[in-house]
Amino acid sequence: MKSHLLPLLALGLVAPALPFLAPTPAQAQNAPQTQDHPFLHALFSDNAVLQRDRPIPVWGWTKPGQSVTVKLDTTTTTARADASGRWMTRIGPYTAGGPRTLTVTGADPTENITRQNILFGDVWLCSGQSNMEFGIGNLNNAKDEIDAANYPNIRLFTVPKRTSLTPQDNVNSQWLVCNPTNINRGAWNGFSAVAYFFGRKLHQELGIPIGLIHSSWGGTVAEAWVSESSLGTMPDFSKAIADSKVANATSPLPLEQRVTNWLTAYDPALKANWLTLESDDSNWKTITVPGNWENSGVQELGDFDGIVLFRREVDVPADWAGKDLTLSLGGIDDIDVTYWNGTQVGTTSGWQQNREYKIPGAQVKAGRNLIAVRVTDTGGGGGFGGAPNDLRLSRDGANPLPINGAWKYRISVSSDKMGSMPRAIDPNDPNRVNVLYNGMIAPLEPYGIKGAIWYQGESNASRPEQYSRLLPTLIRDWRKQFDSPLPFHIVQLAGFMAPDDTPSNNEWPRLRAAQMKTAQTVERTGIAITTDVGDEKDIHPKDKQDVGLRLALSALAQDYGRKVEYSGPTVKSVTPQGESVAVSFDHAEGGLSLKGDTSRVFAVAGADLNWFWATPRTEGNRVILTSPVVSKPVYVRYAWSNLPRATLYNGAGLPAPPFQTTP
């Protein structure tokens, strides 16, 4: 299957949102409060948890210039609404505890709100894709966990799924007390299981209120969760951001005409008259059709995105002259505009669509005729994707003429020299740059938050190197937007798919390495290793208790200063020893143990970097590796597989992260 993940990020946007225009004084004075802009933001509902030990913002909307009073128990503060009607003040700091009562009043008698059962504690943002969204009702022991979920000082807030082209400022939800009824609410069989088990462990260990804000969407890419200002610092996404803006731009012209105009503007083939028999193609190169050009062996097309013109002369029999013909080209990746003797006979967008065009008899002459196909590839594979017999010229009552084989081609223009292509708008697609940040993170800002947990990466697994830069960008972005140090804890991808029979270098272990690199290099960032709780056939493994527990241990040790083991064994040194290689580990208290098929979890390589399975032997805080195939092992891999067959644990029962050592 063709991978179009990056270009598809720009394939549409949410329905156009009008930019915010500051109201005139007369308009603002008469503007009623709405659900989108209520007097008090939805995060300040009954049962809310507010962040302890720091001054925290409280905000909402009223008439511009109006005064607002915020009272918490006996402490009072005031604010005045700005020209847009937004007001904000700060309260605190307050120590953990409650319940307390929050009262907010304005100049209008109807603006008088009291919120009850408010607690101060630690608030955690829980985000990602489907494994974070995975509800507690999906567990194997769901009934037992739900029945036991009576924790009145844990509070739950779920952000509704929403995409948006522009940052939103409110959210339609409310805080709920954690009990068997409320924990079972949620789009996918209840509240996030990972978030709940994480919060429950913190609450049990710390004895303070915990607020859990769940904001996730299954199957989504990380770049959808980053603001435009931060994602724009990565050149990888500059074109996707530009494409998004172009795609959302309004135009009186239909999309097909806009695409045609775009191609015409950038394709020199039209100005150079490359489409007719009269034009000289003696300097053009030859390529075999069909076949994606990336796989053709032609070096200049190896990773080419853009426009390529293809030509082929066809000798039409005399008795076909003046007859209607059918030109079949199979599938073309992505867009084609097809010409017969310089006249356009058809165009199609979509790499899975078969091309079949009618050629009017008036354009058909005996002897030499020219087929020219302008192919535009926006990413991934490009060129003719069908089978050889899909390419033919046919006439009713006659055997078709095959037109596969040798065609001439000439590169017209690369995509980096073209402006953004007009695209269709899909208002419900969450896999576009920025749209989930805008719709599901921005509405929470600048609420007081202790930290974040993040379970995502499956949808970015095909781009591990990029993810090693993208995830730190997301972390920095959220810290900036929430104006907080924001400790951030990552769930490393669990085991999935068939285990390797021979040592391999697949995308999933490399994505895990990108996650581990982020945890090791970005300050105040932790990681929970979960390769041992995966499922070969299910990308949504059922064991979320261990995931939440390991996240909580990471937070307890690194954010709360608790003396608990939070990490499995991590590599301290790798020492070649002639016919063996020794790996020493930190976090190895209590000894090392291996569980599973230990014959295919470690691999070694010599200086030639050819990898073979190795036999491990534990010895204190070391693992000694040997292989009958590698006489002088130098480099080591551990659990470097989609689904590792075994796991190395320390005495605390925590798994070692996968790793590889290379030059």
Per-residue pLDDT tens digits for 573-591: 999 999 999 999 999 999 9
- Predicted confidence (pLDDT) per residue in 474-489, tens digit: 999 999 999 999 999 9
Answer yes or no: do 185 and 308 share one domain. Answer: no
Confidence check: pLDDT of 266 > 90 = no
Confidence check: pLDDT of 86 > 70 = yes
Residue 313 near residue 369 (C-beta atoms within 8 A): yes
Kindly state the tokens that stand for 420.
Answer: 């953004």
Q: What is the rounded distance in angstroms from the CA atom of residue 659 to the CA atom of residue 648?
A: 12
Q: Which residue has the higher pLDDT, 269 or 462?
A: 462
Confidence check: pLDDT of 322 > 80 = yes
Q: Is 383 left (phi over 0), alpha (psi -120 to 50) or beta?
A: left
Beta bridge partners of 356: 328
Asked if the structure places residue 470 within a domain, the reply is: yes
Angle between helices 507-521 and 464-482 (to 10 degrees): 40
Strands 593-596 and 646-649: antiparallel
State the pLDDT at residue 425. 61
- Look up the CATH number of the domain holding residue 325: 2.60.120.260
State the pLDDT at residue 576. 97
Asked if the structure places residue 558 within a domain, the reply is: yes
State the pLDDT at residue 469. 98
Say which range, 3-7, 366-370, 435-439, 605-609, has the weakest mean pLDDT: 3-7
State the pLDDT at residue 14. 27
Residue 210 near residue 199 (C-beta atoms within 8 A): yes
Answer yes or no: do 180 and 281 share one domain. Answer: no
Domain final position from 361, 395, 417: 417
What is the amino acid identity at position 199? Answer: G
Residue 446 near residue 483 (C-beta atoms within 8 A): yes
Residue 221 near residue 431 (C-beta atoms within 8 A): yes
E-strand stretches of 62-160:
67-72, 75-80, 86-91, 97-105, 112-128, 151-158
Eight-class DSSP state of 187? B
Tell me the average pLDDT across 367-381: 89
Confidence check: pLDDT of 224 > 70 = yes
Confidence check: pLDDT of 613 > 90 = yes
Which of the given ranges, 126-140, 290-304, 325-339, has the highest pLDDT on average?
126-140
Kindly state the tokens that stand for 567.
Answer: 């990490």
Asked if the structure places residue 265 within a domain, the reply is: yes
Kindly state the tokens that stand for 147.
Answer: 């029945």
Answer yes or no: do 540 and 603 share one domain. Answer: no
Q: What is the rounded distance in angstroms from the CA atom of residue 432 to the CA atom of residue 434?
A: 6
Answer yes or no: do 179 and 260 share one domain. Answer: no
Answer yes or no: do 380 and 404 share one domain. Answer: yes
Confidence check: pLDDT of 421 > 80 = no
Q: pLDDT over 70 for what percent of the chain? A: 92
State the pLDDT at residue 534. 95
Kindly state the tokens that stand for 278.
Answer: 């009269």
State the pLDDT at residue 519. 98
Answer yes or no: do 205 and 300 share one domain. Answer: no
Q: What is the rounded distance in angstroms from the CA atom of residue 258 to the CA atom of residue 201?
A: 55
pLDDT band at 93 (very low <50, low <70, confident <90, very high): very high
Average confidence score pLDDT of the chain: 91
Tell me the average pLDDT across 83-100: 97
State the pLDDT at residue 32. 42
pLDDT band at 33 (very low <50, low <70, confident <90, very high): low
Answer yes or no: do 130 and 211 share one domain. Answer: yes
Residue 205 near residue 553 (C-beta atoms within 8 A): no
Kindly state the tokens that stand for 594.
Answer: 């291996």
Tell me the average pLDDT across 656-663: 94
Confidence check: pLDDT of 263 > 90 = no
Kindly state the tokens that stand for 386.
Answer: 């069908």
Q: Is the four-CA dihedral 131, 132, 137, 140 of positive or negative sign?
A: positive
Distance of CA 85 to the CA centre of its chain: 35
Answer yes or no: do 1 and 139 share one domain. Answer: yes
Confidence check: pLDDT of 89 > 50 = yes
Answer yes or no: do 560 and 574 share one domain. Answer: no
Residue 373 near residue 338 (C-beta atoms within 8 A): yes
State the pLDDT at residue 250. 64
Domain final position from 417, 435, 455: 417
Q: pLDDT over 90 for what percent of the chain? A: 78
- Predicted confidence (pLDDT) per residue in 161-192, tens digit: 999 989 999 999 999 999 999 999 988 999 99
State the pLDDT at residue 11. 28
State the pLDDT at residue 248. 67
Tell me the average pLDDT across 264-271: 74
Kindly state the tokens that stand for 466.
Answer: 């990029």
What is the amino acid identity at position 617? Answer: R
Residue 220 near residue 433 (C-beta atoms within 8 A): no
Q: Is 415 left (phi over 0), alpha (psi -120 to 50) or beta?
A: alpha
Q: What is the rounded distance in angstroms from the CA atom of residue 212 to the CA atom of residue 616?
A: 42
Alpha helices (H) along 522-565: 545-558
Confidence check: pLDDT of 10 > 80 = no
Cis amide leading into 290 (omega within 30)? yes
Cis amide leading into 586 (omega within 30)? no
Residue 414 near residue 317 (C-beta atoms within 8 A): no
Q: How far is CA 513 from CA 508, 520, 539, 641, in A?
A: 9, 10, 19, 11
Can you give the C-alpha Rg of the chain in angstroms?
A: 30
Domain that holds residue 619: 570-660
Kindly state the tokens that stand for 545.
Answer: 């208790």
Using CA atoms of 619, 623, 628, 630 in order, give the dihedral in degrees to the nearest 10: -140
Asked if the structure places residue 177 within a domain, the reply is: yes
Half-sphere exposure of 485 (CA within 13 A, CB side): 8
Per the structure, how many domains does the chain have? 3
Answer yes or no: do 266 and 383 share one domain. Answer: yes
E-strand stretches of 13-111:
49-51, 56-61, 67-72, 75-80, 86-91, 97-105
Domain final position from 372, 388, 417: 417
Q: What is the rounded distance in angstroms from the CA atom of residue 452 to the CA atom of residue 445?
A: 13
7: enclosing H helix or E strand: helix 5-8
Strands 525-528 and 488-491: parallel
Residue 290 near residue 385 (C-beta atoms within 8 A): yes
Report helix, strand or coil for 470: helix
Which residue, 462, 444, 447, 468, is CA-closest to 173?
444
φ, ψ for residue 410, nearest 5 deg: -150, 130
- Predicted confidence (pLDDT) per residue in 342-366, tens digit: 999 999 887 768 999 999 999 999 9
Confidence check: pLDDT of 15 > 80 = no
φ, ψ for residue 616, nearest 5 deg: -95, 150
Report helix, strand or coil for 221: coil
Tell me the average pLDDT across 106-110: 87
State the pLDDT at residue 24. 34
Which residue, 588, 584, 581, 586, is CA-closest to 611?
581
> In terms of residues, how long is the chain?
663
489: enclosing H helix or E strand: strand 488-491
Answer yes or no: do 452 and 521 share one domain. Answer: yes
Confidence check: pLDDT of 549 > 90 = yes
φ, ψ for residue 72, nearest 5 deg: -115, 110
Q: What is the rounded distance in angstroms from the CA atom of residue 408 to the CA atom of residue 285?
A: 5
- Look up the CATH number of the domain holding residue 511: 3.40.50.1110
Residue 618 near residue 625 (C-beta atoms within 8 A): no
Asked if the structure places residue 102 within a domain, the reply is: no
Other Cβ atoms less than 10 A from the Cβ of 662: the count is 10
State the pLDDT at residue 113. 96
Confidence check: pLDDT of 259 > 80 = no
Asked if the structure places residue 295 within a domain, the reply is: yes
Asked if the structure places residue 52 within a domain, the reply is: no
Answer yes or no: do 463 and 600 share one domain. Answer: no
State the pLDDT at residue 19. 25
State the pLDDT at residue 30. 38
Please classify residue 163 by burial: count the beta carbons closer than 10 Å to its beta carbon, then call 0-12 exposed, 13-18 middle and 19+ buried: buried
Kindly state the tokens that stand for 503.
Answer: 């040592």
Using CA atoms of 196, 199, 205, 209 in order, give the dihedral in degrees to the nearest 10: -120
Tell me the average pLDDT across 261-267: 78
Asked if the structure places residue 45 within a domain, the reply is: no
